[in-house]
Amino acid sequence: MNMADAMVGARRKILVVLVDRANYGRMKPVMMAINQHPKLELQVVCAGSMVLERFGNTMREVEDDGFKIAGKVFMELEGSIPLSMTKSLGFGIIEFSTEYAKLEPDIVLLIGDRYEALAAALAAVYMNLPLAHIQGGEVTGSIDESARHAITKLAHWHFPATERSAHFIHQMGESTERIFMVGCPVGDYILALSEQPLPGDIFQAGSGACIDPDNPFYLIIYHPVTTEFGDERRQVREILSALAALARPTVFLWPNIDAGADHISKELRIFRENRRPNWLRFITNLPPEQYQRMLKRCQVAVGNSSSFVRDSTFTGTPVVLVGDRQAGRETGHNAVTVPVERQAIIDAIKMQDEHRRYVTDRLYGDGLAGEKIAEILSQLKPFVQKHLDYINRPEMV
């Protein structure tokens, strides 16, 4: 009996891998759609910083939203250096394979470009598990681009967020019959949010200055660029110096777990303790809904988070992208990019502050990605062995 025949009459088990807070914010609409689909059964495995207390233990938020956690993967080694990150990837392959053997999914579903997702992808394909990938084909800076393209070459089906990304996946030898341009599922989440103002207690988390949610504020996220390891402290000093020159109410979210994160965190703590700014608040983690409301409400978003690229297009939030972490990614007209230099950052923030809200666009989708992905997953014919599509193209015959 082949894999497709084995699944006739039974609900197809879709194992969704979540590895960090951004993962969950984007995957939640897909998970909801899978849960509601009569032909699908949702399995959720949390890994990476999702299961770590110092990152807010985001796994609890998943459970609070009504999703059952089928498995946990503890894979992160302390150190925040390239060596510890690389070893974490290796541990991840081992631990994901254990969870897959226990849960026996029919399809593994991943999103993005994290090294934790790469570990999950490698474990899946070497265990002959069909793999589906969301947000492949995008171009960015740092090692994330290589990880993303590696997952694309491992994956059996692709759910890119833009037409350009779908084209790039096809250029990598993937068949158009296995590429489904559905948009980014985070748009489903954002477009469904009500227009209510921020709750008064949204800034009770974290430490530092008290920020009034009814007044304008800046939102900052700056993650390490792993290919620029060792330069993080200088980079964050440039950003903090620019923000201090403006001294406007500002919320700074803690960086992710990548190599170099400890350097950024240390610089933030030094600035907080030595300067004690009365305009700056630090927050470790926010639930997806609170984060999206904050991004939608802030005056300007500054930093290098991918959410500032894609999520902001749905809200029209003015964005200043700092540095090369998102170099090459498709951006909306609401974003400008500057080098990690104090004056360039100041000038860009002032310009975006004066411009105010932009008209929203649909570069990254129409807000229906979750439903589309779930329906496609229910109809796919699973297979294991992939072949380059090049051999079937007329120009190669």
- 322-355 pLDDT, tens digit per residue, is 999 999 999 999 999 999 999 999 999 999 999 9
371-381 average pLDDT score = 97
84 and 213 fall within a common domain: no
160 and 33 fall within a common domain: yes
Who wins on pLDDT, 289 or 242?
Answer: 242
Give the pLDDT of residue 9: 59
Give yes or no for residue 116 having a pLDDT over 70.
Answer: yes
pLDDT band at 395 (very low <50, low <70, confident <90, very high): low
Cβ(280)–Cβ(295) below 8 Å: no
pLDDT band at 6 (very low <50, low <70, confident <90, very high): very low
117-146 average pLDDT score = 95
In a domain, 229, yes or no: yes
Who wins on pLDDT, 111 or 57?
Answer: 111
From residue 90, give the alpha-carbon distance in Å to each of 50, 77, 97, 122, 255.
Answer: 18, 10, 11, 10, 22
Q: Which domain holds residue 266?
A: 207-355
Q: Which residues, at least 6 apart from 326, have a Cβ–Cβ distance to it below 8 Å?
A: 140, 141, 304, 306, 308, 309, 337
Give yes or no for residue 136 having a pLDDT over 90.
Answer: yes
47 and 106 fall within a common domain: yes
82 and 169 fall within a common domain: yes
Give yes or no for residue 384 having a pLDDT over 90.
Answer: no
Give the pLDDT of residue 103: 98
Give yes or no for residue 316 having a pLDDT over 70.
Answer: yes
Give the pLDDT of residue 344: 98
Mean pLDDT computed over every residue of the chain: 92
Give the pLDDT of residue 396: 57
314 and 389 fall within a common domain: no
pLDDT band at 319 (very low <50, low <70, confident <90, very high): very high
Question: Of 229, 262, 255, which Cα lies nearest the Cα of 77?
Answer: 262
pLDDT band at 1 (very low <50, low <70, confident <90, very high): very low
122 and 240 fall within a common domain: no
Give yes or no for residue 2 having a pLDDT over 80.
Answer: no
21-45 average pLDDT score = 95
Domain total for the chain?
2
Q: What is the CATH number of the domain that holds 281?
A: 3.40.50.2000
Question: Of 260, 252, 253, which Cα lies nearest the Cα of 224?
Answer: 260
Give yes or no for residue 296 having a pLDDT over 80.
Answer: yes
Question: Of 51, 55, 45, which Cα lies nearest the Cα of 17?
Answer: 45
40 and 162 fall within a common domain: yes
373 and 333 fall within a common domain: no
The Cα angle at residue 148 between residues 147 and 152, in degrees rounded to 5:
115
Who wins on pLDDT, 9 or 76?
Answer: 76
Give the pLDDT of residue 196: 76
Give the ranges where 75-220 is alpha helix by DSSP (H).
Answer: 82-103, 115-126, 144-154, 163-171, 186-191
180 and 246 fall within a common domain: no
Give the pLDDT of residue 119: 98
15 and 58 fall within a common domain: yes
Percent of residues, the chain, with pLDDT higher than 70? 97
Give yes or no for residue 281 having a pLDDT over 70.
Answer: yes
Give the pLDDT of residue 285: 85
Give the pLDDT of residue 7: 47
- How many other β-carbons are positioned within 10 Å of the β-carbon of residue 191? 16
104 and 245 fall within a common domain: no
Total length of the chain: 397
